[in-house]
Amino acid sequence: MRRFSRSQQELTLNLKETEGSGKRLKILLADDEPFNLIVLEGSIRQIEPRAVIHQALNGKIAYDMMIDSIEAQYDIVFLDNFMPVMSGYELASKIRTTQCTKNVKVVLVSGDGLDSTKNYINDASGCVKLFNHSLLKPFQSEDLRRIIAR
């Protein structure tokens, strides 16, 4: 049996008390393939089990969810590029040009990778980067962990 000094015990207790009290990440997933949503949510839950995760089946639904719900201000939005109604690039552009959503971390999840020539738009403030990160499918959990941690 390992013995701890009083200060080590106090530190251990303090860590356990604060472990569950941290901010819960609010994450939005947008993809028209339900299977992709299931895989991505499961992978995120392995990294952030307490995260609040919402799903949308196209870019328009995702944008409406971001605008309609003030309480749902998302920390991270993961989006597929090729979705019906509104593509990932179109959604990212709307996110970046809307005042209440422009600071959200936006991640492109795609089998094609990020076309760097399409990762910027011009708006009133100048050149704006659409995606903070890209996650190439099939992705490694370590890549996802790095993106969530930043």
Report the pLDDT value the prediction gives residue 115, as an integer from 0 to 100.
Answer: 59
**Residue 76 CA neighbour count, 13 Å, CB half:** 26
Does residue 1 have a pLDDT over 70? no
C-alpha closest to that of 78 among 40, 43, 115, 113: 40
- Write the single-letter amino acid at 103: N
Identify the bridge partners of residue 55 per DSSP, sorted by sequence position.
Answer: 29
- Is 102 part of any domain? yes
Q: What is the CATH number of the domain that holds 44?
A: 3.40.50.2300
20-34, 60-74, 123-137 — which is least confidently predicted? 123-137
Q: What pLDDT band is residue 50 in, cutting at 50, 70 and 90?
A: very high
- Is 19 part of any domain? no
Residue 49 vs residue 18, higher pLDDT: 49
Report the pLDDT value the prediction gives residue 44, as an integer from 0 to 100.
Answer: 98
Burial of 17 (C-beta count, 10 Å sphere; 0-12/13-18/19+): exposed
Q: Is the whole-model pTM more than 0.75?
A: yes
Report the pLDDT value the prediction gives residue 26, as an integer from 0 to 100.
Answer: 95
Percent of the chain with pLDDT over 90: 51
> E strands within the chain?
26-30, 52-56, 76-79, 105-110, 120-123, 126-129, 133-136
Tally the domains of the chain. 1
- Is 16 part of any domain? no
Report the pLDDT value the prediction gives residue 113, as an integer from 0 to 100.
Answer: 61
- Is 15 part of any domain? no
- Is 39 part of any domain? yes
Q: What pLDDT band is residue 13 in, cutting at 50, 70 and 90?
A: very low
Model pLDDT for residues 107-148, shown as the tens digit of each residue? 999 887 655 556 665 655 556 788 899 888 889 999 999 999
- Is 3 part of any domain? no
- Is 18 part of any domain? no
Q: What pLDDT band is residue 150 in, cutting at 50, 70 and 90?
A: confident
**Tokens, residue 145:** 């962990």
Domain range for 86 is 24-149
- Rounded Cα distance, 74 and 63, in Å: 11
- Is 8 part of any domain? no
Does residue 79 have a pLDDT over 70? yes
